[in-house]
Chains A and B, each alone.
Chain A
């Protein structure tokens, strides 16, 4: 029974991994660009949740929306202020731009919030649910379900809506998209906003159940790298599948081998992926 609980817990957390990773893979697929500050976006989402909870006594819905809105603006602003300029430059500039940003955001958070680990002031959704003998916390279930729904929603947005097809058109062929009257700049800024927002919401959701500090961004970034590589270049459905798998593997590793192994095995998996299947589960060789 405990094993089943561990599995369910892992999958539910995996859904959250899928959510923020889908943002990373969107940018990667669209612009061939890896955002090394993506983990910090998640961290900022967590702290925005904290601020809304503490200063405005908001509940999960309030701080999720706040995180989404705040990060959306940040993502779009970053595109116009930094990313657009470095895209045309050498690889050094592209990689250092978000790497430096990650450092800046992380240590600014240390400065503003202190290095201490914090939790939200109240426990939200603290009830226990009993599904056929499996005990899950209400917060785990709601967060996992919400994350999965949002990830699927992202996929539907990209594939079923007009704006989604415009985003994909820019990803496919920027010049052709321009000829069709689509503004690539706007679409790319939109993509950055969506990407950051997905990270922000994921952070806000995780803040409900987990304590956090300014340094969590590093771990989330690495998880996102693994999920995105496993799921395949630019694939949101791939990120969903891979996120669930990574959550599951983490939970099982912690259960069988001990808590420190949950990261070791995931990072080890990443190295193995790079050797044997860098295109991921769903990609072509």
Chain B
């Protein structure tokens, strides 16, 4: 496990340099940055959806808040977008409490329904609100006024910023996993009633998980806005954003540390490929495939690819061990 992690870290650190020699280096570096960003958003969702087992299907609301606020700070007051990042997080936390406080004491379905409803509510409000750019959206700085605008022509600086934030998030998740909060969240996911009987403050911990998740999802949205320089209701608050966050985590393995990264490594290139091959109609096909993947995961392997891997690899190890003992 340790060696694998070091190898992974090395690969991630060196990737931009490794592809710089190829013909399509810019494209590959850009895709690399997108993979990291997708992994970041999915890892953030993973905290509440994977570890705590509270399935949010409207996480776009946090992503959108994080994406809109920085660009609005620039649009209205010409401030560097990065100053809007804490505002995005603050708004996301308010939304998290607004939804989480009433629903996390009820059956899980209420929470899921509420996430869709609030995300859609926000999308409609923003679509019709001129101050927030309405349907047209909001633009970031066109030219860099200084390093603090974080506008780079190459994808490589973005790549490393995203990598740093992802590393931070994975570290936080890893620490959480090993500590009391991690054990409590997993117990809540496994059996709320039993968890309560052991003194776990279920409602409070679910809310903590949601707030932590909202914070990092918002951050992912902000990073997206910084890189692309543009946001509109569809790309910030649309259902497809929520879908992307969920499927990326679930495909790799919800509730695991590296599942979201694995999901991103598979899905981002896949989406790029289907979009290229099928042109305009490609987006439709991509989401048919996504829908199919989600149903298959739900039906056959809710633990995602990592779970599939563990079951087959560990069963092979056990067989080998048994054969050794028998010999």
List chain A positions with a Cβ less than 8 A from chain B: 28, 32-34, 36, 82, 85-86, 89-97, 99-108, 110-111, 218, 221-222, 225-226, 229, 260, 263-264, 267-268, 270-271, 274-275, 278
B231 at the interface (CB under 8 A from A): no
Q: How many inter-chain residue pairs (CB < 8 Å) link A and B? A: 144
Q: B254 and A92: CB pair below 8 A?
A: yes
Residue on B with the closest CB to A272?
Answer: B102
- Smallest CB separation, B173 vs chain A (Å): 17
Q: A101 and B291: CB pair below 8 A?
A: yes
Q: B284 and A274: CB pair below 8 A?
A: no
Q: A95 and B299: CB pair below 8 A?
A: no
B287-320: which have CB < 8 Å to A? 287-288, 290-299, 302
- Smallest CB separation, B254 vs chain A (Å): 6
B164 at the interface (CB under 8 A from A): no
Assuming the contacts A92-B302, A260-B124, A278-B106, asked whether A111 and B117 have C-beta atoms less than 8 A apart, the reply is: no
Cβ-defined partner of A86 (8 Å) among B109, B287, B298:
B298
B residues in contact with A99, CB < 8 Å: 57, 246, 294
Cβ-defined partner of B110 (8 Å) among A96, A263, A274:
A274
Q: A218 and B120: CB pair below 8 A?
A: yes
Q: A271 and B109: CB pair below 8 A?
A: no
Counting from the closest, the 8 A-B pairs by CB-CB distance are A100-B294, A104-B291, A103-B291, A97-B298, A100-B295, A107-B287, A267-B121, A93-B302
Assuming the contacts A90-B53, A278-B106, asked whether A271 and B250 have C-beta atoms less than 8 A apart, the reply is: no
Interface of B is mostly: helix
B residues in contact with A226, CB < 8 Å: 117
- Smallest CB separation, B266 vs chain A (Å): 16
Assuming the contacts A96-B55, A96-B294, asked whether A274 and B128 have C-beta atoms less than 8 A apart, the reply is: no
B residues in contact with A89, CB < 8 Å: 298, 302
Q: B284 and A263: CB pair below 8 A?
A: no
Q: B102 and A92: CB pair below 8 A?
A: no
A residues in contact with B250, CB < 8 Å: 92, 96
B49 at the interface (CB under 8 A from A): yes
With the chains together, A278 CA to B99 CA distance in Å?
13
Interface of A is mostly: helix
Q: B113 and A34: CB pair below 8 A?
A: yes
B residues in contact with A264, CB < 8 Å: 121, 124-125
A residues in contact with B50, CB < 8 Å: 92
* Residue from A93, A111, A221 having most chain B Cβ neighbours under 10 A: A93
Q: A271 and B117: CB pair below 8 A?
A: yes
Cβ-defined partner of A101 (8 Å) among B98, B113, B295:
B295
Q: B112 and A34: CB pair below 8 A?
A: yes
B248-273: which have CB < 8 Å to A? 250, 254
Q: A267 and B117: CB pair below 8 A?
A: yes
Q: A82 and B299: CB pair below 8 A?
A: yes
B residues in contact with A28, CB < 8 Å: 109
Assuming the contacts A91-B108, A264-B124, asked whether A218 and B288 have C-beta atoms less than 8 A apart, the reply is: no
Assuming the contacts A95-B109, A96-B250, A99-B57, asked whether A267 and B292 have C-beta atoms less than 8 A apart, the reply is: no
A-B residue pairs in contact (CB < 8 Å), sample of 20: A34-B112, A92-B50, A92-B53, A92-B250, A95-B55, A95-B57, A95-B112, A96-B246, A100-B294, A103-B288, A104-B288, A110-B287, A111-B281, A218-B239, A226-B117, A229-B113, A267-B118, A267-B121, A274-B102, A278-B102
Residues 96-111 of chain B: 1 if any A CB is under 8 Å from the residue's CB, otherwise 0? 0011011100111110
A residues in contact with B57, CB < 8 Å: 36, 95, 99
- Give 10 A-B pairs besides A102-B291, A271-B118 with Cβ atoms closer than 8 angstroms: A85-B299, A89-B298, A90-B53, A96-B246, A103-B288, A104-B292, A218-B239, A263-B121, A278-B103, A278-B106
Q: B118 and A92: CB pair below 8 A?
A: no
B residues in contact with A271, CB < 8 Å: 98-99, 114, 117-118, 121
Q: A91 and B55: CB pair below 8 A?
A: yes
Q: B112 and A222: CB pair below 8 A?
A: no
B116 at the interface (CB under 8 A from A): yes
B8 at the interface (CB under 8 A from A): no
- Smallest CB separation, B59 vs chain A (Å): 12
Residue on A with the closest CB to B243?
Answer: A103
With the chains together, A239 CA to B284 CA distance in Å?
34
A residues in contact with B161, CB < 8 Å: none
Residues 46-58 of chain B: 1 if any A CB is under 8 Å from the residue's CB, otherwise 0? 0001100101010
